[in-house]
A and B are shown apart, each in its own frame.
Chain A
Amino acid sequence: MPTDPPPEELRLVVDLNRCQSYGQCVYAAPTVFRFHGEEALEYDYAPDPGTRREVERAAAACPVQAILLARATEPAPLAPERAR
């Protein structure tokens, strides 16, 4: 019997040069994006996988398309143990 796949990691970054603080992402995913002051956007680069649909809506709603969501399926690079 198939089991549910583990929740995928969610990674994002906002190009804050391109960002014009329209705030659509804050409406779409309020636990991931927030304003500090009137115009300074802050966000979580690795939000809970349960917010994926909200985050995808936020990325789609950004008027300047400043939100990049991860597409890589490779495992994250790890340092060799001896280098830690």
Chain B
Amino acid sequence: MIGPERIVVAGASLAGLRAAEALRDEGFDGELTLIGDEPHAPYDRPPLSKAVLSGWLPTDRTVLPRARNIDARWLLGSPATGVDLAARRVALADGREVPYHRLLIATGTRARPWPRQQGGDLHGVHVLRSRDDADRLRAALAAGPGRVLVIGAGFTGGEVASVCRDLGLDVTVTHRGGAPLASALGGVIGDAVTRWYRDAGVDLRLGTTVRTLEGDAHGRLRRAVLADGTVVEAEVAVVAAGALANTEWLNGSGLAADARGVVCDASCRALTVDGTPVADVFAAGDVARWPHPLYPGQLLRLDHWDNAVAQARTAAHNMAHGSRAPRTHDPLPAFWSNQFGVNLKCVGLPALADQVVLTQGSLDQRQFVAAYGRRGRLIAAVAVDSPRVLDGYAALIEAGAPFPPVLNATDGPGRADPLDPAFPRPADPAPGDPSMPPTPPASSAPSPQPDPSASSAPSVLAGHE
């Protein structure tokens, strides 16, 4: 390769680590620097909302294995604060400047915070995205609060509520939409998920939002006032209202970046605000938005574990080998969640579907597969406690199979009966929600979890795992 001498990876989590390893695998033998805002070595996030909160796994045992030596310089504990594309320099919060020949942007996302003026500063109000978040929330749950309030019934909200019930804690979950996970999986599956919540003893409040969080004289959370005026007494609140891309440090750089992510092309090159790819700046992982050939006409941002790994590898390949025969990043999306004792796995993007059909099992049994179609083609499948069937569905989706699919599964229904998947309508109003952000265009992918504060646009995303 005609190698650049210095590559800087901004972001030291899953995508950044795997990109660094892939760069060495691809033969890059120059100087490699990883920049991380957290002081921790790269760790895995999926267990934070499950094994860590339940108390089974301490956060210092979620550190990711490193697949090979990378001989990198690690600048941890200091976030990148700016980039000068012309001078090819990244600035850090501690005042250092790091020169690069090629830069990978892998700064990920953070939890959307609760607004300060609505009680976001109270002691007892948590988010869950980082290792430190998980340590704080784990300690708060272990202290045995009288009731936990979870704001948002997306993937993170459901996992937190599920752990709370496993710990014997009373929990109330509020959700703007009509069913948990509805913006990711639709209301048909969401209604089944509603039963998981209720059977586990969760106090689930659908079709409502939290207006304000209120505390006592010591600044400790005591209660939440909902949009309908009802009050929930709680000492701990978990704001599970989606995520924001960590792109503020790119403001003014000339790159096309905002809270929805940094726009790049199919070969992971970052674009400027006028849509021109920058030859020496790439993006990968949760922070990247890009055109996926399977989903024309829109930019995707996927907060999915496997996307971070795959996009990091693609970006690394293209960074190491320049623009000759660049690789395209076009994997079939896949993600999973564990909550209320069931394993839920998904391939494709259900949120784009116009029909859904139950192809195996039954919704009542908590063991089923649902297939999603769009304009007569199979585009996604969700499997609940049926993890071994999904490879077959993935192959059908990638082959452009017709919908409803012909499977002849022994546990299939007698007759395929496609339904409206019941995704939230784009025009649903959001009265009384203080955290309602500007409505993103429908072509965007606004957040990783079905987001109670941004559910007016169908979320193309579905989870961080």
Residues of A within 8 A of B (CB): 11-13, 15-17, 19-22, 36-40, 42, 44-46, 68-74, 76-80, 82-84
Contact = CB atoms under 8 A, between A and B. Distances in A.
A5 to B, nearest CB: 18
A69 to B, nearest CB: 6
Interface in B46-95: 46-47, 50-51, 56-57, 60-72, 74, 76-78, 94
B451 to A, nearest CB: 22
Contact of A45 (B47, B67, B334): B47
Contacts of B47: 42, 45
User: Interface residue tally of chain B, by bracket?
Assistant: 35 or more
A37 B39 contact: no
A77 B388 contact: no
A54 B46 CA distance: 24
B343 interface: yes
A13 B65 contact: yes
Contacts, number: 118
Given A70-B66, A78-B74, 20 more contacts: A13-B44, A16-B305, A16-B336, A21-B388, A36-B341, A38-B343, A40-B338, A45-B47, A45-B63, A68-B65, A69-B65, A70-B67, A72-B66, A72-B67, A74-B69, A74-B70, A76-B66, A78-B41, A78-B76, A83-B76
Given A39-B343, A45-B63, A79 B69 contact: no
Contacts of A45: 44, 47, 57, 61-65
A20 B51 CA distance: 19
Find the residue from B60, B64, B66 having the highest chain A CB count within 10 A: B66
Interface of B: 12, 34, 39-42, 44, 46-47, 50-51, 56-57, 60-72, 74, 76-78, 94, 304-306, 309, 334-336, 338, 341-343, 345, 385-388, 391, 465
Contacts of B74: 77-78
Contacts of B50: 36, 42
Given A19-B387, A21-B343, A39-B385, A77 B41 contact: yes
Contacts of A19: 387
| Interface residue SS majority, chain B | loop
15 contacts: A11-B64, A15-B306, A16-B305, A17-B304, A17-B305, A17-B334, A22-B388, A37-B343, A42-B50, A44-B61, A45-B64, A69-B65, A72-B69, A76-B63, A78-B74
B375 to A, nearest CB: 26
A40 B337 CA distance: 9
> Do most interface residues of chain A lie in helix, strand or loop, or is the interface mixed?
loop
A42 B343 contact: no
A71 to B, nearest CB: 6
Nearest to B306: A17
B465 A16 contact: yes
Contacts of B309: 15
Contacts of B69: 72-74
Contacts of B12: 77
In the A-B complex, the 4 residue pairs with the closest CB atoms: A83-B77, A70-B65, A79-B39, A11-B65
A58 B359 CA distance: 33
Contacts of A46: 60-61, 63
A42 B339 CA distance: 12
A76 B343 contact: no
B384 to A, nearest CB: 9
B68 A72 contact: yes
Contacts of A16: 46, 305, 336, 465
A53 B112 CA distance: 42
A36 B343 CA distance: 9
B40 to A, nearest CB: 7
Contacts of B341: 36-38, 40
A15 B39 CA distance: 25
Contacts of B385: 37-39
- Which residue among A17, A42, A80 has the maximum number of chain B CB atoms within 10 Å of its CB? A17
B387 A77 contact: no
B332 to A, nearest CB: 10
Nearest to B465: A16
Most interface-central of A38, A46, A71, A79 (chain B CB within 10 A):
A79
Contacts of B46: 16
Given A40-B342, A45-B63, A80 B76 contact: yes
Contacts of B61: 44-46
Given A16-B305, A77-B41, A84-B77, A42 B56 contact: yes
B387 to A, nearest CB: 5
Nearest to A76: B41
Contacts of A44: 57, 61
A36 B44 CA distance: 18
Contacts of B386: 39
Contacts of B465: 16-17
A67 to B, nearest CB: 10
A83 B374 CA distance: 50
Nearest to A77: B74
B51 A42 contact: yes
Given A17-B305, A17-B306, A74-B69, A79 B57 contact: no
